[in-house]
Amino acid sequence: EIVLTQSPDFQSVTPKEKVTITCRASQSIGSSLHWYQQKPNQSPRLLIRSASQSMSGVPSRFSGSGYGTGFTLTINSLEAEDVAVYFCHQSESLPQTFGQGTKLEMK
Amino acid sequence: QITLKESGPTLVKPTQTLTLTCTFSGFSLTTSGVGVGWIRQPPGKALEWLALIYWNDDKRYSPSLKSRLTITKDTSKSLVVLTMINMDPVDTATYYCARVFGVVKWFDYWGQGTLLTVSS
């Protein structure tokens, strides 16, 4: 099973801050890495698929990069509405797995 | 418009069998490349992938839960059913169904989730 480890687990943030969340895979997964945003009491929302491809309707301040075992989700100029938990997800091999999540909270 | 909605009991007793139904619209499970999966999330914890069923009836299960899970589909009714036997309090979680699309298999549409409590 491929283990995905996110860092940090938690980050206190301020508006307009640039936020970087990393996801490391225990073995190479190519670009089969996806990012989701989950706001309180909501379902996850797909933000980025295949490491770097933004989904339709996702604000341009969200971007993804990486390949193999190291991936990054970047939020440029964070807005209050971005406070949420962010999960990475690998679909390269079964069982598919998720990272433990990164919680962003406003200072 | 693509939607998915989970339905099932909110409470089951230990050792009982759980049956969850995912009813979807806006797509067909006969379309090549499409699948529906189940994911769960214990309160305050991370997401856990459970099972997937594809348009061609290929089925995949989490190895740790494989002996307890069965996933089936009814394409004529646009629904997917997940059955889990021998429920335990550690299975308490919100259960989501979600659509899988494409070769790389990301989950692009999710249901609202259904909270299940396992308790005597």
Partners of B98 on chain A (C-beta within 8 Å) are 44
Query: B14-40: per-residue pLDDT in tens?
Result: 999 999 999 999 999 999 999 999 999
Chain B: give the shortest CA distance to residue A68, in Å.
Answer: 14
Round to whole Å and give the CA distance between B93 and A63: 30
- Please indicate if any CB of chain B lies within 8 Å of the CB of A87: yes
User: Residue A30: left (phi > 0), alpha (psi -120 to 50), or beta?
Assistant: left
Residue B31's pLDDT is 93
- Please indicate if any CB of chain A lies within 8 Å of the CB of B105: yes
**Residues whose CB falls within 8 Å of the CB of residue B62, separated by 6 or more in sequence, listed in order:** A95, B48, B49, B50, B51, B69
Q: What count of Cα atoms within 13 Å lies in the side-chain half-sphere of residue A105? A: 7
CB neighbour class for B25 (10 Å; exposed up to 12, middle 13-18, buried from 19): exposed
Rg, Å, chain B Cα set = 14
Residue B103's pLDDT is 76
Nearest CA in chain A to B111: A43
A&B contacts, CB < 8 Å: 56
User: Residue A52: left (phi > 0), alpha (psi -120 to 50), or beta?
Assistant: alpha
- Please indicate if any CB of chain A lies within 8 Å of the CB of B24: no
Residue B104's pLDDT is 74
Contact predicate A29/A90, CB 8 Å:
yes
Chain A: give the shortest CA distance to residue B47, in Å.
Answer: 6
Query: A40-65: per-residue pLDDT in tens?
Result: 999 999 999 999 999 999 999 999 99
Q: Average of pLDDT values for A15-35?
A: 97
The number of beta carbons lying within 10 Å of the beta carbon of residue A82 is 20
Query: B51-85: per-residue pLDDT in tens?
Result: 999 999 999 999 999 999 999 999 999 999 999 99
